[in-house]
Amino acid sequence: MFFGGGTPSLLPAAAVQRILEAVGEQIGLAWDVEVTLEANPGARERGEWCDYRAAGINRLSLGVQSLDDHLLRRLGRVHDSRAALSALEQAHAAGLTRVNVDLMYALPGQTQSSAQADVTRLVNLGVKHISHYQLTIESGTPIAQNPPADLPDDQAQAQMESACREQMAAAGLKRYEVSAFAGPGQQCVHNLNYWSYGDFLGIGPGAHGKLTLAPGKIVRTEAVASPQQWLRSAGTESADARDWQLSRDEVVFELFANGLRLVDGIAPCEAQANSGISWTELEDCVGQLIKDGWLEWRAGRLRAADGAFELLDSALEFLLPAS
């Protein structure tokens, strides 16, 4: 289970417990189920982390982004490095041993030494899972309309990413997905299910889901974004949501675009089960990428070849369904 989107840590621990109990009554929960809560630094204190742990939260994901106060201000974040470090220490003190930190690089004015300093401080604090994201400038955002002049260029970004990746590997955080690094036993089950093209049920305003109704019949769901509108229709037959069935081409694209983000790649039996399409057909779709050396077989799984991992988005464009 994953409490995500916005700042779910604004939800009191007692409410989290009621939700978990209700889900358990409906479908049952395994004793070792992973239950993640997203939070922003400064949102909670140590005593409240203890309450969340008692309620059933056993994994925390903190949106730290940077430990450089100047860069945090430029990102418009409301917390500073002191609040971020305090949140980590308090979470660990509360017994939350599985903590992810979201960390960004290639920020305006950021240097390689600054990016590496962030990794060093987190590793020294005992962080065992880091989601390491490159700043993405999306159209329509304020930063896209007025891009900073001091954004690192492509070469600097690549060097920054490579140096931080090597640093995390040296600290025992193994890369298992394009942007995710984890110590032993710290991989995120939610993420692995998502990238492996498993099903998931999205509940709440704006929540998205993926459901397999029958072999080869995959449906995407999207709840209405307005909290007020969602509350009015929740639990009724006219629940405000939309759903649509994916075409075969859409399934093929999503399967490979997701699965090839994993370092270990795609297992044929798992891909066939999750897509409803025979592996022979699936492999035919990417045959040219295998011939051209973009993809390779290793330990019975199809994965990105060495040196091709960061460039796969471009290579997979030919799989995009016709609009």
Please check whether residues 24 and 59 belong to one and the same domain: yes
Report the Cα–Cα distance between both ends of the chain, in Å, rounded. 33
Please check whether residues 152 and 210 belong to one and the same domain: no
Residue 164 token pair: 């931080």
58/36 Cα distance (integer angstroms): 6
> Which of 63-72, 96-105, 303-312 is least confident?
303-312
Beta strands in the chain (DSSP E): 2-3, 36-39, 59-65, 99-105, 129-134, 174-177, 180-182, 208-214, 217-223, 241-245, 295-298, 301-304
> Is the predicted pLDDT of residue 176 greater than 70, yes or no?
yes
Look up the CATH number of the domain holding residue 269: 1.10.10.10
Please check whether residues 166 and 202 belong to one and the same domain: no
**How many domains are there within the chain?**
3
6/252 Cα distance (integer angstroms): 30
> Is the predicted pLDDT of residue 238 greater than 70, yes or no?
no
> Domain boundary at 165, 187, 209, which?
187
What integer pLDDT is reported at residue 43 of this predicted model? 64
Task: Find out whether 210 and 201 touch, Cβ atoms under 8 Å.
Answer: no
Look up the CATH number of the domain holding residue 27: 3.30.750.200
Q: Tens digits of per-residue pLDDT, 73-89?
A: 988 888 999 999 999 99
Mean pLDDT across the chain:
91
Domain hosting residue 207, numbered range: 196-246
Please check whether residues 158 and 31 belong to one and the same domain: yes
Please check whether residues 240 and 256 belong to one and the same domain: no
What integer pLDDT is reported at residue 216 of this predicted model? 86
